[in-house]
Amino acid sequence: MTKLRGVKAVERSRYREYLRVADHYYDAAKDSIELEYWTAASLLIVHSAIAYADALCIKLSGQRSVGDTHEHAITLLDASIAGGEEKSKALNQLRYIIEEKTRVSYLGEMILPPGTKDLWKRLDRFRDWALAILKR
């Protein structure tokens, strides 16, 4: 595997901890959607996606991203798993969610239902792909 910058070695068995955190964010996002807390749900969706990506990277490569941006997590995940159409689709979902992080987290905007529902749909697609790999 190519040596990447901005990564930290993590014991592979710890992927389960990151998976648990990802699931907690996922469940909290679902609860927030039911309560119509759209902005909170969107933020939880972003963090859930990042935690699923970390879990995958740790399980597959024994590393996680500690780079300056979450884009490093996508690069590490891309390098950690063989290619294919499903991988490409999943990484595109993750990339979109991460690109929304600034708007969701830092701009002080209230997120409206359509934006949250779109993020949720993308998280579900990425999560399904991630869980299929993590459960192997």
Give CA separation, 24 vs 18, 27, 75, in Å.
10, 5, 24
pLDDT band with cut points at 50, 70 and 90 for residue 50: very high
Record the pTM. Answer: 0.92
Q: DSSP assignment, residue 1?
A: -
Strands of the chain, DSSP E? 7-9, 63-65
In the prediction, which pLDDT does 1 show?
46
Answer positive or negative: Cα dihedral of 7, 9, 12, 13.
negative
Alpha helices in 9-37 (DSSP H): 15-34
Tell me what the pLDDT averaged over the chain comes to.
92
In the prediction, which pLDDT does 7 show?
86
For the segment 105-127, the average pLDDT, to the nearest whole number, is 91
Strands of 11-129, DSSP E? 63-65
Distance CA 125, CA 94 (A): 9
Nearest to 70 by CA among 100, 41, 107: 100
User: Was domain 7-134 assigned CATH 1.20.120.330?
Assistant: yes
Reading the block at residue 123, the tokens are 């998280």
Distance CA 100, CA 59 (A): 26
Domain ranges of the chain: 7-134
- For the segment 76-115, what is each residue's pLDDT rounded down to a tens digit? 999 999 888 999 999 999 999 999 987 887 777 889 999 9
In the prediction, which pLDDT does 97 show?
96
Asked whether residue 4 carries a pLDDT value surpassing 70, the answer given is no
In the prediction, which pLDDT does 70 show?
78
